[in-house]
Structure 1
Amino acid sequence: MSGVDPAELTAKLVRCASVTPANEGALEILYDLLSDAGFDCVWADRGGIRNLFARWGNKGNTRSFGFNGHTDVVPIGNEADWTMPPFGAEVKDGVMYGRGTTDMKSGVAAFAAAAVDFVRKTPPDGSIILAITGDEEGDADDGTTALLDYMTDHGERMDVCLVGEPTCPETMGDMMKIGRRGSMNAHFRVVGKQGHAAYPHRANNPLTAMVRLMDKLASHELDQGTDHFDASTLAVVTVDTGNPVTNVIPAACTAAINIRFNDLHSGASLTTWLEQQAKEVRENFGVQIEVEVKISGESFITPPGPLSDMVSNAVAAETGVTPTLSTSGGTSDARFVKAHCPVVEFGLVGQSMHQVDEHVRVEHIHKLKAIYGRILKDYFA
């Protein structure tokens, strides 16, 4: 195959053990490749996180196509559970194994390869921007947000952006993302009065109040979904007391929930609802309840239109599959990009991401490069 081999580039990136927030040379590989192809590359580091901004073309061109992705990966877990080296990028029967092969070093490699080949063969009338972070799998405080801040401070702009996260559930090309649900976590601490389990009237059991509160939250129907979103969900993820005995009513307990919400809600409106529910239980049970909320991202959608049509058409042309437009799944850095420009996501089949023996079919990496190359050609046509 001509041009930059995206599978070889993927393998180089996978061999960098860039468990978030470590970089281990992954972004330097991309810096060198893109610089050699005429991209202006700048480090947009912040908070100890390495971030790469690369632009081909003049700043302020009338058309600018952007790509966002990450080279950091989640931990490997117990290495003894892996049947292949987690950072070996070894290929067996046409499948490459290693942490980050699916999420999402292959996506970054495929776009970088497509972009380099494109500007070398048919220099476009416009700009191509790659904003690659080393802080997506972690707190994400100094990753894509730092890149976007850098762009604002230096007059850089993406007119549209493609995020290369894995998006396909079953087969290559079957789904793209035009939005994402919002995500938030809430932690609760209920304080009552400790006492002997044989004399519950002399205590005030915080667990009774906590169980009632968790039941109120979990049994409440937040909504029934919208035109582009499934119904919002609330999951109780932990209830803890640390009580090792059965004859003592504890003084306090904690719990946590996660909410994935659609465009009928905001983080602020759900926070108000949670605080109101806690207030009602507090007054009914005479306990103290503390509520701490962290909003990971708001829901968003890029309405179907020219950008999603262009990506969908390119996917169909290369795979024979027309992708479903979806807002399912977890969060991604598209939640930050959406405030900068219209954004959609398309990438590989994601069945093995974050798993032991994470892997990708080598042919799919080449197919993804072809899709990204077609998108660039259609955008600058």
Structure 2
Amino acid sequence: MTASGASYTISGSLTPAQIAAVRQAAAEVLPQCRDFLASLVRIDTTNPPGRNYLECAQLIGHTLASLGYAVEYVEVPAEQLPALAPAGEGLPRTNVIGRLRGTEGRKTLHANGHFDVVPIGTVEDWRYPPFGAEVHGGRMYGRGTSDMKGGIAAQIFAVEAIKRAGLKLKGNIEQSGVVDEETTGVRNAGMGFLVDNGYIKADEIDAIVITEPLNTTNVCCGHRGTIWGTVTFRGRLSHGSMPGLGVNALHHACAFVQLATSTLCPRLADRRDERVIPPEARMASLAFTQLRAGDNINTVPSVAAVSFDRRLVPGETLADARREIADVLAALKATPGFEDLRYEYAENYATEATWVDPEQPIAAVFRDAIQVVTGQEAGIVSSPGSDDQRFPVHSLSPPLNATIVYGPGYISEAHVANESIDIAGELQVGLEVMALAFAAFLGVDAA
């Protein structure tokens, strides 16, 4: 059974014969889906800096066009690249959108995936070529197989499975492939750019599915919030043999870290969200990640910068998180010996925590599809990190809260050496789940 009270179910929208036909068709299009995924993986779209984006966008666009979609390429103007893609070395940013109109066209579902991938790290750590898309033991290996070119391949061929099953979608389906998810940013040149510039509109789309991997049997309804910030402390230079003549900015930075760790971090550990996976990420947290100070060993540093990663759980707000950090700084300044504390606070990324209703139709129909395909009750989870869900939920007006995350594969494969996806156990399962959910949500007619 799907969620109590949900108005969308697989069995309520599709006949048993249609369900069987869609699942069989998903198995039949799996080889095409696999081959398309391999073609995507073989294009090195490492970000930063954002290589070969146009080539990858065109592969997606040409494939969509061959399948009957109206295709639009969305390139970020060069003058906006320094702000939206500061790590992009001026390389072009090209997104792609395909639109396929249904027989009735009264509803629209948008499926989205990013095609940039993180760097491979040390090539010697890879058992198989990181952009080879080689298949061994039923798994395809390569950067992006799981995060998240596998999701893009599955979302496109899920619609093809519906067609092959002899059905036509009543509603409209949109497919987008976007850039720069991996380099985040308060705004970005991918999903953020599409939202900001009206390519995705709340009043024209009924729901969005972002096909990131988290766990093939889970529907993701949110993610933790994030602040990436830096506090820069200012002191006064002096010779290392006469530290009393200076003001040691490094001492101030270390005192801040110590005070925050002893006072704020224990309070954060008590704030938990049991829906977050993995369990180790369920509590709010503050991690100090970088410390930069000093130019040489015999000089008291006048500048020290400490960076932090603050993760929020639903119920916390960015305003509250900033206030708590400010309170630690104020307490330090009130401590004897630190009356001359001078500092600047800056953020290079921040997003509120996100949670959408798991009982809404798009979430309910995916949960039901997972149970039909896997025989397991779907989990309702939250992601440990932020993703492109934040743009439709937080940046559209009105917010498009009918935005969930579901894709083939597991988050444990993301960003690791020897990244891979199981073709039958993950790619095919995700393909079947999407096909059934798309068909149930948008409705179908016999071809």
* Cα separation, partners in 2 of 1:155 and 1:256, compared to 1, 3 Å: closer
Is the CA contact (8 Å cut-off) linking 2:194 and 2:200 kept in structure 1? no
**Counterpart AA for 1:80:** E
Deviations 1:52-84 (A, max 9, x none): 111111699321111111111111122233221
Matched residues in 1 for 2:133 and 2:54: separation? Answer: 15
Matched residues in 1 for 2:98 and 2:127: separation? Answer: 36
**Secondary structure in 2 aligned to 1:2?**
helix
**Counterpart AA for 2:148:** M
Matched residues in 1 for 2:33 and 2:345: separation? Answer: 47
**Counterpart AA for 2:326:** E
1:275 to 326, 340, 345: 326
**Secondary structure in 1 aligned to 2:64?**
helix
Gaps of 5+ in 1: none
Q: Which moved more, 1:195-204 or 1:312-321?
A: 195-204
Aligned to 2:287: 235
2:141 to 64, 72, 97: 97
Aligned to 2:28: 2
Gaps of 5+ in 2: 1-26, 78-91, 277-281, 394-398
1:301 to 345, 355, 363: 355
Deviations 1:178-223 (A, max 9, x none): 1111111110111112334554433322222222211232331235
Matched residues in 2 for 1:350 and 1:45: separation? Answer: 29
**Secondary structure in 2 aligned to 1:356?**
coil
2:323 is equivalent to residue 262 of structure 1: no
Q: CA deviation at 1:366?
A: 1.6
Aligned to 2:414: 353
Deviations 1:258-315 (A, max 9, x none): 1110233222332233234324434541131111123332111112213222111111
Q: CA deviation at 1:228?
A: 5.3
**Counterpart AA for 2:344:** E
Q: Which moved more, 1:214-223 or 1:365-374?
A: 214-223
2:353 is equivalent to residue 292 of structure 1: no
Aligned to 1:320: 375
Matched residues in 1 for 2:380 and 2:221: separation? Answer: 6
Q: CA deviation at 1:145?
A: 1.5
2:389 is equivalent to residue 342 of structure 1: no
Is the CA contact (8 Å cut-off) linking 2:287 and 2:308 kept in structure 1? yes
Is the CA contact (8 Å cut-off) linking 1:158 and 1:341 kept in structure 2? no
Q: CA deviation at 1:337?
A: 2.1
2:324 is equivalent to residue 249 of structure 1: no
Aligned to 2:205: 158
2:170 is equivalent to residue 125 of structure 1: yes
**Secondary structure in 2 aligned to 1:325?**
strand
Matched residues in 1 for 2:201 and 2:103: separation? Answer: 10
2:234 is equivalent to residue 187 of structure 1: no
Matched residues in 1 for 2:422 and 2:411: separation? Answer: 11
Is the CA contact (8 Å cut-off) linking 2:134 and 2:141 kept in structure 1? yes
Q: Which moved more, 1:340-349 or 1:113-122?
A: 113-122
Q: With structure 1 as the length reference, what TM-score do the two structures score?
A: 0.90
Is the CA contact (8 Å cut-off) linking 1:205 and 1:249 kept in structure 2? yes
Matched residues in 2 for 1:244 and 1:197: separation? Answer: 10
Is the CA contact (8 Å cut-off) linking 1:59 and 1:156 kept in structure 2? no
Matched residues in 2 for 1:35 and 1:65: separation? Answer: 18
**Counterpart AA for 1:318:** V
RMSD: 2.4
Q: CA deviation at 1:130?
A: 1.3
Give the count of matched residue pairs.
376
Matched residues in 2 for 1:89 and 1:130: separation? Answer: 23
Aligned to 1:332: 387
Deviations 1:313-347 (A, max 9, x none): 11121112223211131111011122334111112
Aligned to 1:216: 259
Q: CA deviation at 1:40?
A: 1.3
Identity over the aligned pairs, expressed in percent? Answer: 23
Aligned to 2:112: 68
Q: CA deviation at 1:151?
A: 3.9
Matched residues in 2 for 1:53 and 1:66: separation? Answer: 10
* Cα separation, partners in 2 of 1:332 and 1:59, compared to 1, 3 Å: farther
